[in-house]
Amino acid sequence: MRESLVLIQIDEQSSVKKNEVGYVCVGDERLKAEVLRIRGRTADMQVFEDTSGVRVGDRVEMTDEMLSATLGPGLLGRVFDGLQNPLHDLAKEHGFFLPRGVSAPPLDTQRTWEFTPAVAVSARVSPGGVLGTVPEGPFTHKILVPFGEKEPVTVTWIGEGKLTLNDPVARIESGGVEREITMVQRWPVRRTIPDSLLRRRYAERLYAQEPLTTGTRIIDTFFPIANGGTGCIPGPFGAGKTVLQSTIARYAAVDVVVVVACGERAGEVVETITMYPETQDPRTGGTLMDRTIIICNTSSMPVAAREASIYMGVTLAEYYRQMGLNVLLIADSTSRWAQAMRETSGRMEEIPGEEAFPAYLDSSIKSVYERAGTIRCPDDSQGSLTMIGTVSPAGGNFEEPVTQSTLGTVKTFLGLSYDRAYKRFYPAIDPLISWSRYLDQLGPWLSKNLDPNWTRDVKRLRTLLERGDAINQMMQVTGEEGITLEDYITWQKSVLVDMAYLQQDAFDDVDAFMPRERQLESLKLLQSLVDRDYDFETRDEAREFFTRVIGLYKNWNYSPPDSVDYQKYKTEIEAATRPLHGTSS
C-alpha cells in the first residue's frame, strides 16, 4: 500500500490549525487527513489512506476539529483501527478488504442503555463529574460532564430510563447558556484528558503507592510495576513478548485492558482478536474481551493511522480512568510507532536525528508515557492508568534510539534475552539486565502488606544471581574443577532461584498466575534454602541435592493450593531445609 503526505494550498481567508482534520476529495471518495505543519499559506497534511489518484487541484474540506476519540458506553469488547473505525462493522458491510474512504460510527447509536441519574436538578457538577450511570459489561459506566467545560455546570434537567446514545440525558447551564448533553463526548487524542481538569483543580494527580499485581513472579517480586506506573518490554524476535503481554493482560489486577497493536504483523494481531473472546477472564468469569478494547493497526495498514493509534488508545484508557477504574494499556510495539514517525518526518524533509528518527523522538515517547498515572477524580474516586510498551529493537540491540529513549522514560525495564529464550527459560526476562525503580518506592506497601523484609530479601537474591553468573562465566573457562566447592554451591543456589522461582509456565492453569500470598510463601521457603550452610563433600553431592529440590519446586508450582500434591511437595521441600549432616545456619 502507498501512502504520502499531501501538500495543500490554504487561501488567505482560511484558518487552519495544527492537528486539524480535513478530507481530500477524490471523486466520490473522501480521504481523511490531519494537519501536521503550517507554513505561511500552505499546510502539510498526512493522509490516513492510500493516496493514489490524488491530483493537484483536488478539493480539501477542513472540519475545524482535531483528530478526536468518541467516548461513551459501548467501547468495551470492540476492535477499532487507529482512527476508531469499528473493524468488525466495516468487515460485515464491505468484506475483508476495505475500500478506502469508508468509515463507520465507533459506537452503536441504536442500542439502548438503562440510565440512572446520580444528581438532582439544580446540582452543581464540576467538569468530569458524574451525572449518572449505565451498566456496561462487568462495570458501572459513569456518564461524565464534558471534560472541556471551563467551570462547574448547573443541572437544569436530568433524564432516566432506557436511552440511546443520541438521546439527551441532561440539560446543563454554564455561563448563562443552557444546552443538552448526551452520553457521548469527543476529545482530541493528542491532548491529555486530565490536564484541563488538573489545571482547574477539579482532579489531582497522586503518587503511585501500590504495585500492579500481574501474577508473574519475576515481575511482582523482582521488578514490580506500580499501579499507575510505566514499564517496557524490549526484546528480540522470538523472545516471548507476545505471550508475556497476553499473560499480563489476562491476569493483571486491573478493570479495563486496552491493547494497541501499532505495527505488529497481522498474524499476531489476528491471534489476539480470536483468542481474547474465547479466553475466560479469571476476574469476572466472562471472557477477556468483555473488559478489553483493541486498537488494531498492523504493519500492512497505513503508516499515518499507525502513528495515530497510540494516541487513540491512550485517550480511551484515560476516559475509563476518569471513572475511577484501574486501566492497563499495552502498546505492541512502540518501535513500529516510532518507525511510522520516522517515515512521516522524512517525507516532511525534517532534519533527522540518530538512525534517521525524528529529532523529537525522545520528547514524543516521553509525552505518551507521561499520560500514565493515578488520578483522584472529581467524585473523589481514584483511577489509574498503567502503561507497558513492548519494544522490538533490530537484532535485540538495546542501544538503538527507541529503546534508549524508552529506558529514559519508564521506571520498570523488563529486558528479554534471546539466550534465555533459546534455553526455554520463560518468561525470558533477564534478571541481570532488568531493573525497577519502583522496588524502593513501593517498599512501604510491600513491607506492610507482605513482609517487613521483602525489599531487603529481594535485593539479596538479586545479588546472589549476579554472583552466580560471575561464577558460571568462570566455569566456562576453567571448568567445575577450577572453582572452589563453596563457589560451586553458591552457583547452584543461584540456579535454584532462577529455575524454581523466576521461570513460570504461561500455559499451565496453575503456574500461569501466582497470587502475592503464594509468592510470599514460596519466596520465604526459597530464602530458607538459600540462607543455609551446606557441608557437601563433593560437587556431585551438591548437584544431586539441588537438582532434586528444583524438581520438587517445579512440581509444587504446578499444584493447586487445595490439592494433596501441594502439601506433599511443600513438606518435601521443607524437609530439605533441615540441617544436613548436622550443620545449619
Q: What is the DSSP string of 189-204?
A: TTS-HHHHHHHTTSSE
> Known binder of ligand: residue 115?
no
- 1-67 has CATH 3.40.50.920 classification: no
Contact between residue 499 and residue 550 where contact means Cβ atoms under 8 Å apart: yes
Pick the CATH number of 454-576 from 1.10.1140.10, 2.60.120.10, 3.30.70.2700, 3.30.70.260: 1.10.1140.10
The CATH number assigned to the domain with range 217-449 reads 3.40.50.300
> Known binder of ligand: residue 18?
no
Contact between residue 514 and residue 230 where contact means Cβ atoms under 8 Å apart: no
> Known binder of ligand: residue 235?
yes
> Known binder of ligand: residue 241?
yes
Mark 419-451 as b/e (b = at least 16 C-beta within 10 Å): ebbeeebbbbbbbeebbbbbbebbeebbeeebb
Q: Residue ranges of the chain with pLDDT lower than 50?
A: 1-5, 12-13, 581-585
Give pLDDT, residue 53: 86
Give pLDDT, residue 265: 64
Give pLDDT, residue 369: 96
Give pLDDT, residue 300: 60
pLDDT tens track for 505-530: 999 999 999 999 999 999 999 999 99
* Alpha carbon distance 301, 260 (integer Å): 14
Q: What is the Cα gyration radius of the chain?
A: 27
For 32, 82, 126, 336, the CA distances from 297, given in Å and listed in that order, are: 16, 6, 36, 10
Give pLDDT, residue 280: 82
Give pLDDT, residue 286: 86
Q: Which of left, alpha, beta for 95 (phi over 0: left; psi -120 to 50: alpha)?
A: left
- 112-186 has CATH 2.40.50.100 classification: yes
Burial (Cβ within 10 Å: 0-12, 13-18, ≥19) of residue 555: middle
Give pLDDT, residue 583: 41
> Known binder of ligand: residue 236?
yes
Contact between residue 67 and residue 310 where contact means Cβ atoms under 8 Å apart: no
C-alpha cell at 97: 478488504
Sorted by sequence, the CB contacts under 8 Å of residue 245 that are 6+ apart come out as 233, 259, 330, 332, 388, 390
> Known binder of ligand: residue 374?
no
* Alpha carbon distance 315, 320 (integer Å): 9
Q: Sketch the domain layout of the chain as residue ranges.
A: 1-67, 112-186, 217-449, 454-576
Q: Are strands 435-436 and 412-413 parallel, antiparallel or unpaired?
A: antiparallel
Give pLDDT, residue 3: 42
